[in-house]
């Protein structure tokens, strides 16, 4: 295959591309002078963004102007969309539910967007559910997102979010039950809204835990078809566990460029900014809220010698929660006579920057970042773009700094 590879690292470059097939990686902006196709979606004389660390197959009919900012351009001599992708359109019928399975960087998200565009051209309303909480295409990082599309889109960032189920982490391990339940809830509410639903799963496929996750997602979805993207047999143990389902294999595009670890991390940072930029500090009162995925609101707090603390017994596990640092001698006084030998210590002030999910009447509003939780004043301060007051806040597991860089990941269950 004939390839011209151009990668821009330190400056923005504007270039003109002639008629032909390309792979363009973001961050990039394309301004077609004629008509072009991206992921099978038609674009006529409007500027289109290819997001940071994402790749797009592009067909240019006449000429296009491309602005590259840290991205790259690859020219190929044939359509980067595999023939089998195009032919799979005949497998889809109204009422179908489809699951897409494969490892990282094999084309799952690209195929999902491409086939959705083809189905929309045929007049269908297509529901998409993205269960990849670490590299989310729909919804903020740390969520399972859902969307219903009835027109063509050339990237996921343009697709309006229908609903989301907040997990609050970047890794599926430790959250299998939540991911399966979230997938089930989102697909049930979408069944009467869309003509067909496509569930795109994460690239987490190695080991027995990943196998169990994929199997149980399939069980709750009950798909008509399962499409597998397999690289060197890495999905065999998963497929062997899915007997009785209609399983089909699709090829991995030859031109696909694997994302590096730092690109994945920076993509989460880039996408997080979309939901946090221009956010403001907002105060909510606990009397109007319930918390989820934490025991912080279930604790009876006290003030001892000027220090705020609380104790909570969860079966055989003891949580010691403080609002700031407490000297060791004060802790010894608090514990004297309580016969507490082992405990989980949570300093609320060290949770600043924790990812939160905000809900109203059972529907996802947006994410936020914890700024402060004062259990004595019974108020919580959140950095968020949410306008309406939530009635529920779900606590996540990722903590970011003021630049939205990840600085800590709490282990599942740490907050109770």
Q: What's the pTM value of the predicted model, to 2 decimals?
A: 0.91
3-state secondary structure the chain: CCCEEEECCCCEEEEEEEEEEEEEEECEEEEECCEEEECCEEEECCCEEECECCEEEEEEEEEEEEEEECCEEEEECCCCCCHHHHHHHHHCCCCCEEEEEECCCCCHHHHHHHHHHHHHHCCCCEEEEECCCCCCCCCCCCEEEEEEECCCCCCHHHCCCCEEEECCCCCCCCCHHHHHHHHHHHHHHHCCCCCEEEEECCCCCCHHHHHHHHHHHHHHHCCCEEEEECCCCCCHHHHCCCCCCCEEECCCCCCCCCCCHHHHHHHHHHHHHHHHCCCEEEEEEHHHCEEECCCHHHCEEEEECCEEEEEEEECCEEEEEECCCCCHHHHHHHHCCCCCCCCEEEEHHHHCCEEEEEEECCEEEEEEEEEEEECCCCEEEEEECCCCCCCEEEEEEEEECCCCCEEEECCCCCCC
C-alpha neighbours within 13 Å on the C-beta side of residue 77: 4
Q: What percent of the chain has pLDDT over 90?
A: 62
Q: Which residues pair with residue 13 across a beta bridge?
A: 68
- pLDDT for 1: 36
pLDDT tens, position by position, 8-32: 444 567 778 888 898 888 788 888 8
Domains of the chain by start residue, with CATH = 4-76 (2.60.120.1030), 83-258 (3.40.50.300), 278-409 (no CATH)
Q: Which of 70-74, 254-258, 313-317, 374-378 has the lowest mean pLDDT?
A: 254-258
pLDDT surpasses 90 at 307: yes
Answer yes or no: is pLDDT of 161 > 60.
yes
- Give the pLDDT band (50/70/90) at residue 47: confident
**Per-chain mean pLDDT for the chain:** 90
Measure the CA–CA gap between 86 and 4, rounded to whole angstroms.
Answer: 25
């Amino acid at each position: 295959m004939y390839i011209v590879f151009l990668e821009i690292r330190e400056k923005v470059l504007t270039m003109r591309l002639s008629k032909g097939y390309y792979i363009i990686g973001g961050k990039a902006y394309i301004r077609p002078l004629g008509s072009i196709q991206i992921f099978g979606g038609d674009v006529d004389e409007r500027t289109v963004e290819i997001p940071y660390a994402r790749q797009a197959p592009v067909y240019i009919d006449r000429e296009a102007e491309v602005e590259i900012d840290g991205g790259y351009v690859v020219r190929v001599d044939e359509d980067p969309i595999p023939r089998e992708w195009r032919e799979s359109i005949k497998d889809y019928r109204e009422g179908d539910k489809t699951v897409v399975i494969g490892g990282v960087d094999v084309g799952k998200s690209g195929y999902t967007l491409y086939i959705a565009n083809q189905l929309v051209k045929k007049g269908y309303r297509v529901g998409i559910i993205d269960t990849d909480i670490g590299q989310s295409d729909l919804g903020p990082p740390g969520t399972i997102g859902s969307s219903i599309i009835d027109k063509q889109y050339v990237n996921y960032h343009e697709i309006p979010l229908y609903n989301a189920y907040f997990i609050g982490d970047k890794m599926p391990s430790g959250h299998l039950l939540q991911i399966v339940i979230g997938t089930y809830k989102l697909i049930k509410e979408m069944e009467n809204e869309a003509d067909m639903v496509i569930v795109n799963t994460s690239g987490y496929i190695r080991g027995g835990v990943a196998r169990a996750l994929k199997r149980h997602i399939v069980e709750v979805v009950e798909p008509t078809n399962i499409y597998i993207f397999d690289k060197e047999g890495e999905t065999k143990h998963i497929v062997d566990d899915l007997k009785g389902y209609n399983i089909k294999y699709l090829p991995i595009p030859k031109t696909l460029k694997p994302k590096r670890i730092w690109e994945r991390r920076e993509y989460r940072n880039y996408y997080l900014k979309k939901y946090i930029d221009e956010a403001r500090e907002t105060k909510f009162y606990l009397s109007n809220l319930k918390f989820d995925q934490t025991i912080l609101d279930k604790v009876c707090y006290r003030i001892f010698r000027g220090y705020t603390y609380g104790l909570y017994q969860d079966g055989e596990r003891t949580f010691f929660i403080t609002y700031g640092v407490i000297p060791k001698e004060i802790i010894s006084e608090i514990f004297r006579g309580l016969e507490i030998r082992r405990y989980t210590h949570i300093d609320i002030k060290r949770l600043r920057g924790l990812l939160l999910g905000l809900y109203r009447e059972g529907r996802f509003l947006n994410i936020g970042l914890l700024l402060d939780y004062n259990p004595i004043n019974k108020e919580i301060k959140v950095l968020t773009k949410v306008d309406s007051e939530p009635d529920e806040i779900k606590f996540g597991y990722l903590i970011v700094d003021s630049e939205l860089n990840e600085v800590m990941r709490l282990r599942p269950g740490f907050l109770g």
